[in-house]
Homo-oligomer: A and B are copies of this chain.
């Protein structure tokens, strides 16, 4: 039934009032959609009349057009035989990435999550690195997420038989090898050609739960299909302004066996991720923009290109409706105060994820670990803690971080960027090794803390007296400091 269209024909439709594009062999008329494109008109016009597949793929789920646009925009299929193969010359950046990948350290040399991050920085293309690594504004919250864990110290108990240590636990009713899950992150194909299914495969072999993102590069079904029969997956949901779109997606997800619905609450708009914006700006070198323009058009990088359809009017009243369309346990992701955790419980949610979106939304939002203790207290005080599960994400980089979160009351913790970095650099094996490292580190901490199972991990095992202290040093007294001659230990100066 599909019409076959020649490339020459497509090429004629290359103006703002008549614009066609080829994506995955299909021809689309995007004239009407043009002003609504979240990524801006410019990028569409760059490919007007041409094949846009390569640019489209890493930053859109394959089914996005089907999901959001009318079937009428599909004009037919391109005559592939006539589509001349473009011989793409290797760019400078491509060459840099290729050489970096050829010289990667061995996987066995990766001893911690920071190793993966550092290798990823050299082997990722700049757009992927900028998208994955950036946070909002000054990136204070993004970095605070990990460093807040450094404000927590241990109170280790010794002379306990810790020969056999069991790290397994239950999250939302599903058994798992470790109290961690792979949290939802967008645009997996920026980092790895196979996208999110890489994570799915590693989760399968290591018995770890995966939260599937709304904005995956792979389609939802691809990711579900890649999972094993008993593998637990959850769904992260950006709520669409058009509730029908969300309803359809939620019902489908439930039918495919999702064990939890995590509604993102901290993204009524996307944060300003300046590294991402700057990277994109530099890459595009927009020649037609003049200095006289006074409009504030922030070029938004990869972040903005994907976020059009998130409804800023989402509110507590919507929970009842969600409960009416699904039996999946509903959890709110992005809770940042004890008050809102209590509200979630009162609205019948099964739990919350304390999260600031990896420091990508509101800068100076507190880290999840900082507010965890007061959230648990508030729930207890209100008698809402039974059967209500609290998760946290953000900044978890060591087995000790996992232990600290569990000690303060978390059921489990979500980990995002580290798995992206492992996936981008070493694929499935990289993710598996990183999971193994977390397992190894967490088990070791349990042993050193004198506990043998998750249930034994208690709040009095951690010292959180400084957890809420945000220390900002006085400005440096440079004159005094520069006038001072530093002490130097004696070394082998003759070498």
Contacts and interface: CB of A to CB of B under 8 A. Distances in A.
A337 B157 contact: yes
A480 B447 contact: no
A103 B278 contact: no
A494 B294 CA distance: 23
Interface in A99-155: 99-100, 103-112, 114-115, 117-119, 121-123, 133, 137-140, 142-144, 146-148, 150-155
B115 A337 contact: no
Identical copies of this chain, number: 4
A489 B315 contact: no
Q: How large is the interface on A (under 10, 10 to 19, 20 to 34, 35 or more residues)?
A: 35 or more
Interface stretch (A78-86, A173-181, A254-262, A432-440): A432-440
Given A111-B277, A268-B448, A473-B472, A118 B337 contact: no
B475 A473 contact: no
A159 B484 CA distance: 32
A158 B398 CA distance: 29
B488 A478 contact: yes
A312 B111 contact: no
A161 interface: yes
13 contacts: A107-B291, A118-B482, A118-B491, A138-B487, A140-B150, A147-B477, A150-B364, A156-B337, A158-B335, A159-B315, A266-B448, A296-B436, A362-B400
Interface of A: 99-100, 103-112, 114-115, 117-119, 121-123, 133, 137-140, 142-144, 146-148, 150-163, 205, 265-266, 268-269, 271-272, 274-275, 277-278, 281, 286, 289, 291-299, 311-316, 318, 332, 334-337, 339-340, 343, 356, 361-366, 397-398, 400, 426, 429, 432-433, 436-437, 439-441, 444-445, 447-449, 463, 465-466, 468-475, 477-480, 482-495
